[in-house]
C-alpha cells in the first residue's frame, strides 16, 4: 500500500491569517513511523495557542510548513502501530498530544506521547484535556500550593483556569478565582470563591481572602500580575502562562506546560474517578474548525472548544485503502 495515495480530511492553513484561513481539505494520510502510532482521531481540543500559531506565532522548536494542520491534543483509536512502538495495539482507545497536526482524521504520534483512555472517560473529555490540564498541573507543581493555603487564579473560568481551580481544590487549597460576573456561579461550582476582575479587583480579592494569598496563577494576562504582586509576598510563588513580558519586569515565574504521558495519565485517572471534569463550551465538526478559533479569540468563556472529527457511526477500523479516502 502506498502512503502517498491515501488521503484524509484535515483542517489546515496555507498561510498565516485570520480564523477563516483555517479550511478543510484532503491531505496525505500519514503512516505510523518508527516508534509511532497512527490514531484515527475522534475529538481534538482547541486552544488559544492554536489560534496564535494560525496567526503567525511559531512555538519554540517547531517548524511550520504549509499546508499546516493545526491542533495539539486529541483522543481516538489506534489504527496502525509502527515498528518499535510498544504498549499499543490496533483498536486501542487513546488520548495524546503533539505540537501540531491534530485537527485531522488521522494523526501519527510518538507512542510515548499517547496513553490509554479509561473506558469511563468520554471522548470529548479525553480529547480536550491534555493542553489545559497539563498546563494547569505544571503550574501548580511550580507554585507548590498545598493544603490549607490560598491560591489566586486569574481567569478562573477559562480552559487552563478551570483545570487549575479543580486541581488545587482537590488538594485542599482554598482558591479565589477572578472571572466575569456571568461565570461566577460556574467558578463557584468548581470550588473557588469567584471575584469580578477589572477595576477594584485588588480590594475585592482581599475581601474574599481575608486570610491572605499564598500563591497566584495568571492565565489571563491583561496586567493581572500587577494585582498578584500586591497580594503574594514571594514572587517565586506568582506565575503566569500568558505574560512573559511582565515576568521580567516583576520577577515572577514564567510557566510553560511540561507535557508528559505520565501527567496526562494522572489527569485522565482523575477524570475517571470523577475528581476532575473538562467543561466543553462548544463542539464543532471538522469543517467548522474556524468557528472554534473565532470563539477562542474572544478571550472569554468557560472551559474548552472541541472538534468532533469522527464518531461511532464512522465504522472505520485500520486505515483506508490506497487511493481511497476516509468516509
Ligand atoms: N505557557 C503555556 O505553556 C501555555 C499553555 C496553555 C495556554 N497558555 C496560554 O494561557 C492563556 C489562557 O488559555 P486558556 O485556554 O485558559 O484561555 P481561555 O479559555 O480563553 O480563558 C481565558 C480566560 O481569561 C478570562 N479573562 C478575560 N479577560 C480577563 C481579564 N481582564 N482579567 C481576568 N481574566 C480575564 C476569561 O474569563 P471570562 O470568560 O470570565 O471573561 C477567560 O475565561 C492563553 O493566552 C494561552 O495561550 C499558555
Ligand 1 atom closest to 222 (CA)? 31
Ligand 1 atom closest to 257 (CA)? 3
Query: Number of structural domains, the chain?
Result: 2
In this predicted structure, what is the pLDDT of residue 318? 52
CB of 129 within 8 A of CB of 271? yes
Q: Do 63 and 103 belong to one domain?
A: yes
Ligand 1 atom closest to 161 (CA)? 16
List the grid coordinates of 252: 515572577
Residue 5 DSSP symbol = G
What ranges make up the beta strands (E) of the chain?
7-13, 23-28, 36-46, 68-69, 73-81, 93-97, 106-110, 114-116, 150-154, 174-179, 193-196, 215-218, 238-240, 253-254, 280-285, 304-308
Q: Do 192 and 242 belong to one domain?
A: yes
With a Cβ cut-off of 6 Å, ligand 1 is lined by: 47-49, 131-132, 135, 154-155, 157-161, 178-180, 183, 197, 219-220, 222, 224, 241-242, 255-257, 299-301
| Spacing, Cα 1 to ligand 1 middle (Å) | 45
CB of 218 within 8 A of CB of 160? no
Q: Phi and psi at residue 283, in whole multiples of 5°?
A: -115, 155
**Domain CATH code at residue 193:** 3.40.50.720
Q: Do 68 and 97 belong to one domain?
A: yes
Residues spanned by the domain of 19? 7-117+279-308
Residues of the chain with pLDDT under 50: 1-3, 315-317, 321-327
Which of 181, 187, 299, when mutated, tests ligand 1's pocket best, judged by the most ligand atoms within 8 Å of its CB?
A: 299
In this predicted structure, what is the pLDDT of residue 320? 54
Query: How many Å apart are CA 138 and CA 117, to the nearest integer?
Result: 21
Query: How many Å apart are CA 21 and CA 285, to the nearest integer?
Result: 16
In this predicted structure, what is the pLDDT of residue 122? 98
Q: Do 165 and 245 belong to one domain?
A: yes
In this predicted structure, what is the pLDDT of residue 166? 98
Rounded to two decimals, what is the model's pTM?
Answer: 0.95
Q: State the virtual CA torsion across 23, 25, 27, 30 in degrees, nearest 10.
A: 70
CB of 238 within 8 A of CB of 229? yes
Residue in this structure with the C-alpha cell 496586567, named with its chain if needed: 223
Q: What is the CA radius of gyration of the chain?
A: 20
Ligand 1 atom closest to 52 (CA)? 47
Q: Phi and psi at residue 212, in whole multiples of 5°?
A: 100, 170
Q: Is residue 31 part of a domain?
A: yes
Ligand 1 atom closest to 160 (CA)? 16
With a CB cutoff of 8 Å and minimum separation 6, the contacts of 281 are: 295, 301, 302, 303, 304, 305
Ligand 1 atom closest to 303 (CA)? 19
CA 56 to chain centre: 19
In this predicted structure, what is the pLDDT of residue 292? 98
CA atoms lying within 13 Å on the CB side of residue 212:
8
Q: Do 113 and 60 belong to one domain?
A: yes
Q: Do 103 and 202 belong to one domain?
A: no
Q: What residue owns the CA closest to ligand 1's atom 14?
A: 159
List the grid coordinates of 1: 500500500
| Spacing, Cα 178 to ligand 1 middle (Å) | 11
Residue in this structure with the C-alpha cell 502506498, named with its chain if needed: 2
Q: Is residue 260 part of a domain?
A: no
In this predicted structure, what is the pLDDT of residue 323? 42
**Domain CATH code at residue 47:** 3.90.180.10
Residue in this structure with the C-alpha cell 473529555, named with its chain if needed: 125
Which of 164, 245, 300, when mutated, tests ligand 1's pocket best, judged by the most ligand atoms within 8 Å of its CB?
A: 300
Q: Is residue 149 part of a domain?
A: yes
Q: Do 234 and 302 belong to one domain?
A: no
Residue 253 DSSP symbol = E
Q: Do 248 and 140 belong to one domain?
A: yes
| pLDDT tens column, 18-61 | 999 999 999 999 999 999 999 999 999 999 999 999 999 999 99
In this predicted structure, what is the pLDDT of residue 324? 42
Amino acid at each position: 500500500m502506498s502512503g502517498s495515495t491515501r488521503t484524509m480530511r484535515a483542517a489546515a492553513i496555507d498561510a498565516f491569517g485570520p480564523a477563516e484561513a483555517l479550511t478543510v481539505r484532503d491531505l496525505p494520510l500519514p503512516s505510523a513511523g518508527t516508534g509511532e502510532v497512527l490514531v484515527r482521531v475522534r475529538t481534538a481540543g482547541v486552544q488559544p495557542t492554536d489560534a496564535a500559531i494560525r496567526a503567525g506565532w511559531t512555538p519554540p522548536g517547531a517548524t511550520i510548513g504549509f499546508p499546516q494542520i493545526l491542533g495539539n491534543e486529541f483522543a481516538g483509536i489506534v489504527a496502525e502501530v509502527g515498528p518499535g512502538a510498544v504498549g499499543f495495539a490496533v483498536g486501542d482507545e487513546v488520548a495524546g498530544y503533539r505540537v501540531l497536526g491534530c485537527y485531522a482524521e488521522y494523526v501519527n504520534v510518538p507512542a510515548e506521547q499517547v496513553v490509554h483512555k479509561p473506558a469511563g472517560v468520554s471522548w470529548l473529555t479525553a480529547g480536550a484535556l491534555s493542553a489545559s490540564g497539563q498546563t494547569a498541573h505544571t503550574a501548580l507543581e511550580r507554585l507548590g500550593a498545598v493544603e490549607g493555603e490560598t491560591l489566586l487564579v486569574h481567569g478562573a473560568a477559562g480552559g487552563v483556569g478551570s483545570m487549575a481551580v479543580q486541581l488545587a481544590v482537590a488538594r485542599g487549597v482554598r482558591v479565589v478565582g477572578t472571572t466575569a460576573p456571568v461565570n461566577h456561579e460556574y467558578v463557584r461550582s468548581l470550588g473557588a470563591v469567584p471575584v469580578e476582575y477589572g477595576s477594584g479587583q485588588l480590594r475585592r480579592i482581599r475581601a474574599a481572602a481575608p486570610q491572605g494569598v499564598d500563591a497566584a496563577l495568571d492565565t489571563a494576562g491583561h496586567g493581572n500580575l500587577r494585582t498578584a504582586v500586591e497580594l503574594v509576598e514571594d514572587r517565586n510563588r506568582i506565575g503566569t502562562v500568558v505574560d512573559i513580558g511582565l515576568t521580567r519586569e516583576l520577577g515572577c515565574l514564567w510557566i510553560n506546560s511540561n507535557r508528559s504521558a505520565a501527567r496526562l495519565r494522572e489527569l485522565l485517572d482523575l477524570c475517571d474517578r470523577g475528581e476532575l471534569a473538562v467543561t466543553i463550551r462548544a463542539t464543532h465538526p471538522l469543517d467548522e474548525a474556524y468557528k472554534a478559533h473565532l470563539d477562542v479569540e474572544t478571550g472569554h468563556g468557560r472551559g474548552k472548544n472541541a472538534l468532533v472529527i469522527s464518531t461511532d457511526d464512522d465504522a472505520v477500523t485500520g486505515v483506508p485503502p490506497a487511493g481511497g479516502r476516509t468516509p
